[in-house]
C-alpha cells in the first residue's frame, strides 16, 4: 500500500472542507469500489475522508409523495425497508440483487450513484423513477446527472447527501446478471405513473438510458406481448467477453417482457 491520509468526517461541512485539502482527496463511503480500485492502483488518492459515520446521510423517510434515501444508506437497508417495499417495490427488488450479502451490507446508494459504473444497478432506478440527486450545493434531476462512463454532473468534491424518489403507481426491476460479479449485463427498471411508463436500461451501453421504443409500446398496452417483436438498434451498445451488442439488445426486450409480466 502507498501512504495516504485518513480523516473521519464529523459533519457534511467538515467532510467537504477536509476533502479539498488533498491534491486528490476522495470521500470514502462503503469502500466497495474505492478500496479495490486503490488496491489495483487504478486510483491513488492522497486523502480519504470517511463519511460512514454521518447519521445525517443515513436512513429512509417519506416526505409527502417522495421516498427520501440518505446517500450512506446501504443496499441491504433499502432492500429491507418497509417504506421502500410498500411504495417503491422496484427499488427494493433492485437493491436485493446487487452483488452479494457482503457488498449489500457495505455498499451505499450515494457511492453507487456517484461512481456511475455503466453496469451498476441503481442508475436504472434513479432514471426510471425520475429521481432528484441532492448534494451539498444543489439538486440535480436524474436526466441531467449521468453523462458518460463513470462520469456524472457532480463537480469535484461535491457530495451527494440524499436521493429523492417520487412514489409511482407501480415499479419493478429485472436484470440478467453476470454470474461472477452479479453486475447486470442488462438491467431494466420500469416505472408506471398516471401520465407515463418509463423504461430505464443499465448495463447495455456506456451509461444508463431510457428505452423510448419500449416506453411507446407499453404506454399503448402494458402487456409483455407488446414487446414481442421489439428490435432495438444496438450500434452504441457495449461489446465484451460477456455479451455482444446484439445480444444485449435482445436481452433488453426479454428482461422488459419478464418484468412487465411480473408487474401485472
Ligand atoms: C464483488 C462486488 C460485486 C458488486 N456487484 C454489484 C452489482 O451487482 N451491482 C451494482 O450496482 N454494484 C455492484 N457492486 C458495487 C457496490 O454495489 C457499491 O455500490 C459501489 O461499489 C459503490 O458504493 P460504495 O458505498 O462502496 O462507495 P465507495 O467505494 O466508498 O465510493 C465510490 C466512489 O464514489 C464516491 N462517493 C461515495 N459516496 C459519495 C457521496 N455521498 N457523494 C459523492 N461522492 C461519493 C467516492 O469518493 C468514490 O469515488 C459490487 C461491488 C463489489 C466489490
CB count in 10 Å sphere of residue 174? 24
What is the average per-residue pLDDT within 191-211?
97
Using CA positions, which residue lies closest to atom 17 of ligand 1?
Answer: 107
| Residue environment code for 72-90, b if the CB has 16+ CB neighbours within 10 A, otherwise e | bbbbbbbbebebbeebbeb
Distance CA 220, CA 211 (A): 15
Cα of 45 from ligand 1 centre, angstroms? 16
Measured in Å, residue 181 CA sits from the centre of ligand 1 at 13
Residue with cell 453523462: 147
- Which residues have CB under 8 Å from 240's CB, separation 6+? none
Q: Could you read off the pLDDT of 16-47 as tens digits, one per residue? A: 999 999 999 999 999 999 999 999 999 999 99
Going by the DSSP 8-state scheme, the letter that residue 45 receives in this structure is: -
- For residue 1, what pLDDT is reported? 64
Banded pLDDT at 2 (limits 50, 70, 90): confident
- pLDDT score of 121 more than 70: yes
What average pLDDT does range 207-224 have in this prediction? 97
Q: What is the pTM of this model?
A: 0.97
Q: Give the integer Cα–Cα distance in Å for 171 and 126.
A: 12
pLDDT, averaged across the chain: 97
Provide the pLDDT for residue 70.
98
Pocket test for ligand 1, best of 19, 34, 122, 135 (most atoms within 8 A of CB): 34
Strand partners, 248: none
In the prediction, which pLDDT does 264 show? 85
Least confident range from 124-133, 145-154, 208-217, 227-236: namely: 227-236
- Spell out which residues line ligand 1, taking CB within 6 angstroms: 26-34, 36, 71, 98-99, 103, 107-108, 110-112, 114-115, 120-122, 159-160, 181-183
Those residues with Cβ within 8 angstroms of residue 120's Cβ, 6 or more apart along the chain or in another chain:
112, 113, 183, 202
pLDDT tens by residue, 58-99: 999 999 999 999 999 999 999 999 999 999 999 999 999 999
CA of 30 to the centre of ligand 1 (A): 7
Q: How many helices (H) and strands (E) does the chain have?
A: 10, 14
Tens digit of pLDDT for each residue in 158-200? 999 999 999 999 999 999 999 998 999 999 999 999 999 999 9
Distance 103 CA to ligand 1 centre (A): 9
Report whether pLDDT(125) > 90.
yes
Domains of the chain: 5-50 (3.30.43.10), 55-166 (3.30.465.10), 170-263 (3.30.390.50)
Find the 94 Cα to ligand 1 centroid distance in Å. 15
26, 96, 115: which to mutate for ligand 1, most atoms within 8 A of CB?
115
**Residue 218 pLDDT exceeds 70:** yes
Amino acid at each position: 500500500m502507498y501512504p495516504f491520509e485518513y480523516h473521519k468526517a464529523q459533519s457534511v461541512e467538515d467532510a467537504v472542507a477536509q476533502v479539498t485539502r488533498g491534491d486528490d482527496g476522495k470521500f470514502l463511503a462503503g469502500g466497495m469500489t474505492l478500496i479495490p480500485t486503490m488496491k489495483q492502483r487504478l486510483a491513488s488518492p492522497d486523502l480519504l475522508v470517511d463519511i460512514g459515520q454521518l447519521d445525517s446521510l443515513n436512513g429512509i423517510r417519506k416526505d409527502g409523495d417522495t421516498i427520501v434515501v440518505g446517500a450512506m444508506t446501504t443496499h441491504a437497508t433499502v432492500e429491507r425497508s418497509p417504506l421502500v417495499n410498500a411504495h417503491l417495490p422496484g427499488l427494493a427488488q433492485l437493491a436485493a440483487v446487487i452483488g452479494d450479502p457482503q457488498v449489500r451490507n457495505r455498499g451505499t446508494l450515494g457511492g453507487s450513484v456517484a461512481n456511475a459504473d455503466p453496469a451498476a444497478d441503481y442508475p436504472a432506478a434513479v432514471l426510471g423513477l425520475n429521481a432528484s440527486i441532492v448534494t451539498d450545493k444543489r439538486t440535480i434531476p436524474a436526466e441531467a446527472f449521468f453523462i458518460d462512463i463513470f462520469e456524472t454532473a457532480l463537480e469535484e468534491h461535491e457530495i451527494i447527501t440524499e436521493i429523492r424518489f417520487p412514489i409511482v403507481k407501480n415499479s419493478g426491476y429485472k436484470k440478467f446478471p453476470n454470474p461472477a460479479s452479479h453486475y447486470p449485463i442488462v438491467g431494466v427498471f420500469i416505472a408506471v405513473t398516471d401520465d407515463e411508463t418509463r423504461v430505464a436500461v443499465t448495463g447495455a451501453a456506456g451509461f444508463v438510458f431510457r428505452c423510448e421504443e419500449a416506453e411507446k409500446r407499453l404506454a399503448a398496452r402494458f402487456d409483455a406481448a407488446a414487446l414481442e417483436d421489439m428490435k432495438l438498434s444496438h450500434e452504441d451498445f457495449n461489446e465484451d467477453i460477456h455479451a455482444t451488442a446484439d445480444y444485449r439488445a435482445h436481452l433488453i426486450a426479454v428482461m422488459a417482457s419478464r418484468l412487465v409480466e411480473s408487474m401485472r
